[in-house]
Amino acid sequence: MESHQRDLANLHGRTMHSAASPTPAIMIQGTGSNVGKSLLVAGLCRYFADQGLNVRPFKPQNMSNNAAAVDGGEIGRAQALQARAARVTPSVHMNPILLKPESERGSQLIVHGQRFGRLEARDFTSKRERLMPFVMESFTRLVGEADLVIVEGAGSPAETNLRGGDIANMGFAREAHVPVILAGDIDRGGVIASLVGTHAVLDAADQAMIRGFLINKFRGDPALFADGLGTIAARTGWRSIGILPWFPEAGRLPAEDAMDLRRGSPNAKGTIRIAVPVLPRIANFDDLDPLRLEPSVMLTFVERGQALPGNADLVILPGSKATIADLAVFREEGWDIDLKAHIRRGGTVLGLCGGYQMLGLSIADPDGLEGPAGTAVGLGHLAIDTVLTGDKAVRPVRAQALDHAAPIEAYEIHLGHSNGADCARPLFQIDGRLEGARSPDGRVLGTYLHGLFTADAFRRAFLGWLANGPAGGNGEAPLAYDATIEATLDSLAAHMGRHIDTAALLSIAHSRS
């Protein structure tokens, strides 16, 4: 603790832009995807921010269809959460390169928050020299503002086949001279092999960037893993930064990876049944997180091969990064037939962004912005037609629900415009314009707005309308979403402070040269 306090004093006392004393920075890389890097960075951001440091999160390159609209552009949802954890306003410079997958082999390329076209996977290595300057520009800007920068890697540095074009892991760490902590996930098994194996496949210069390791998602008595720590240290030369026990409250925080949709709803006793079909290019599925946590709701994610449940009160068609392609999958699964039956039974349907477009009469992509150029016939439940155009809407908005006296802080991220007869029955008013559409019977709804359900008053009013009465009929208090997120970040920071050697982390961050 004394060393920790000394490091904090050094941070507060140093000259921010001194060339001889670069801003301390630390990078969290992982032995694979989903080992918990995003959560580790969020927890460290909140921990050090609460110690009085001016902290900035940073991820050189992210691949995600879960994005947030910030600062006139878009970044990965995880970086927006990390900025919140650091108690700072999110910026496009916290995630300068964002890849939004549109197919198995290609992604939409976002640079400094703005759409830069499409990037094929086979071309990425050759683009390193073009993209790294954008990464370094953003990093330089952040270190000029901060006392401490906490960087998140992507995937694993052990993917040596990608090393030549890497800007996300060791390619960045060596360019920016940022020391690395390597995280391993013991919950999935094989953590010793994954850490030692990563060391084995890295070249000597990359090995030297790693100054320590930590074990994440541990269950049981940490003393039983003492020999494991010794084995890893002996075979790698890296020091242990700690063993972080399983953090059960992690499920309350927004997820970025579609794999996390399998968590489903924790509320088996929820009286309002909501079903969500999981499409291959599902996007901005964090729209559903407040519903998943709401005690009155039982939220079911419907995987391919399963039918939409016949007892659902509401079916939500979420956003998509490849709307026409996902619409084809929706039909292949027979969900179009299930949806018709749901509507005949008097069920409600809500389309969000790409899901809104699918509910219409047609979707035209004349320039091939999301795939091959062409037009697709929609599901036909809303009298609207959509044309995808190159002018992408990316903006935060303050909306007013026309049926509820509840203001909503939301955002838009979409290509294209929708128009038609059902737009004459809008859902929201935004700065004098009307937005959204509904069917004549009011049971099929569509909107381009994301983040609707984070607004407690709107969410409760909507669920009450859906249930024909007050939401929360299972006796539990309704969710206070923002308060839940804040409390969870505080708990995560305290959890990490108890189990990770934060003084060692700061010392390593100071070693940047």
Catalytic residues, which ones? Answer: 353, 450
Quick check: 33 and 185 in contact, CB under 8 A? Answer: no
C-alpha span between 38 and 77 (Å, rounded)? 10
Nearest Cα neighbor of 335 from 360, 368, 358, 369 is 358
Going from the C-alpha of 246 to that of each of 269, 352, 412, 495, 501, the distances in angstroms are 25, 33, 35, 10, 17
Q: What are phi and psi of 233, to 5 degrees?
A: -65, -40
Quick check: 82 and 57 in contact, CB under 8 A? Answer: yes
Burial of residue 70 (CB within 10 Å: 0-12, 13-18, 19+) is buried
C-alpha span between 149 and 77 (Å, rounded)? 18
Going from the C-alpha of 92 to that of each of 108, 141, 324, the distances in angstroms are 16, 11, 28
Partners of residue 407 on adjacent β-strands: 400
Q: What are phi and psi of 169, to 5 degrees?
A: -125, -110
C-alpha span between 78 and 268 (Å, rounded)? 27
Name the token pair of 414.
């979409």
C-alpha span between 503 and 513 (Å, rounded)? 18
Chain centre to alpha carbon of residue 49? 21
Helix or strand run (H / E) with residue 444: strand 444-447
C-alpha span between 291 and 29 (Å, rounded)? 31
Q: How much helix, strand and coil, in percent to the nearest 5, is found in the chain?
A: 40, 25, 35
Partners of residue 58 on adjacent β-strands: 151
Quickly tell me which residue has 């128009």 as its tokens. 419
